[in-house]
Amino acid sequence: MSSSNTISPKVVTTHVLQEMKMRNEKISMLTAYDYSMAKILDLAGIDVILVGDSASNVMAGYVTTLPITLDNMIYHASSVQRAVQRALVVVDMPFGSYQGNSREALSSAIRIMKETGCSAVKLEGGEEIVESVQRIISAGIPVMGHLGLMPQSINKFGTYAVRAQSTEEAEKLIHDAKKLQDAGCFALVLEKIPAELATKVANSISIPVIGIGAGGGVDGQVLVLHDMLGINQDFSPRFLRRYHNLFQEITNSVQSYIRDVKSKDFPSKNEQY
Ligand code: KIV
- What residue's CA is closest to ligand 1, atom 8? 52
Indicate the pLDDT class of residue 1, thresholds 50, 70 and 90. Answer: very low
In this prediction, residue 3 carries a pLDDT of 45
Is 2 part of any domain? no
> Which protein residues are within 6 Å of ligand 1, measured from CB?
31, 50, 52-54, 92, 189, 191, 212, 222, 224
Query: How far apart are the C-alpha atoms of 32 and 226, rounded to whole Å?
Result: 9
- Please indicate, yes or no, whether residues 152 and 170 belong to a single structural domain of this protein: yes
- Please indicate, yes or no, whether residues 62 and 105 belong to a single structural domain of this protein: yes
**Mean pLDDT calculated for residue range 53-76:** 98
Probe target for ligand 1 pocket from 27, 28, 30, 31, with the most ligand atoms within 8 Å of CB: 31
Domain holding 263, by residue range, is 246-273
Beta bridge partners of residue 30, listed in sequence order: 49, 223
- Please indicate, yes or no, whether residues 167 and 273 belong to a single structural domain of this protein: no
- Please indicate, yes or no, whether residues 144 and 266 belong to a single structural domain of this protein: no
- Please indicate, yes or no, whether residues 227 and 261 belong to a single structural domain of this protein: no
**Residue from 191, 196, 249, 271 carrying the catalytic annotation:** 191
Is 106 part of any domain? yes
Is 3 part of any domain? no
Does 7 score more than 60 pLDDT?
Answer: no
Does 2 score more than 90 pLDDT?
Answer: no
Query: How far apart are the C-alpha atoms of 146 and 92, rounded to whole Å?
Result: 10
Distance 52 CA to ligand 1 centre (A): 5
Does 73 score more than 50 pLDDT?
Answer: yes
**Active site includes 127?**
no
Pairing of strands 143-148, 187-191: parallel
According to the 3-state scheme, what is the secondary structure of 198-241? HHHHHHHCCCCEEEECCCCCCCEEEECHHHHCCCCCCCCCCCCC
- What residue's CA is closest to ligand 1, atom 4? 52
How buried is residue 109: exposed, middle or buried, by Cβ count under 10 Å (0-12/13-18/19+)?
Answer: buried
Distance 260 CA to ligand 1 centre (A): 39
Please count the other Cβ atoms lying within 10 Å of the Cβ belonging to residue 232.
Answer: 19
- Please indicate, yes or no, whether residues 57 and 146 belong to a single structural domain of this protein: yes
Does 11 score more than 70 pLDDT?
Answer: yes
- Please indicate, yes or no, whether residues 85 and 195 belong to a single structural domain of this protein: yes
Distance 10 CA to ligand 1 centre (A): 25
Query: How far apart are the C-alpha atoms of 99 and 102, rounded to whole Å?
Result: 8
**Mean pLDDT calculated for residue range 229-249:** 95
Q: In angstroms, what CA-CA distances link 9 with 2, 36, 42, 47?
A: 9, 18, 9, 11
pTM of the model: 0.96
- What residue's CA is closest to ligand 1, atom 5? 52
- Please indicate, yes or no, whether residues 225 and 110 belong to a single structural domain of this protein: yes
In this prediction, residue 151 carries a pLDDT of 97
Q: What is the mean pLDDT of the chain?
A: 96
In this prediction, residue 234 carries a pLDDT of 82
- Please indicate, yes or no, whether residues 168 and 48 belong to a single structural domain of this protein: yes
For the chain, the domain total comes to 2
Distance 139 CA to ligand 1 centre (A): 24
- Please indicate, yes or no, whether residues 59 and 35 belong to a single structural domain of this protein: yes
Residues of the chain above pLDDT 90, percent: 95
- The strand ranges marked E within 54-152 are 88-92, 120-122, 143-148
Q: Which atom of ligand 1 is nearest to the CA of 53?
A: 1
Indicate the pLDDT class of residue 122, thresholds 50, 70 and 90. Answer: very high
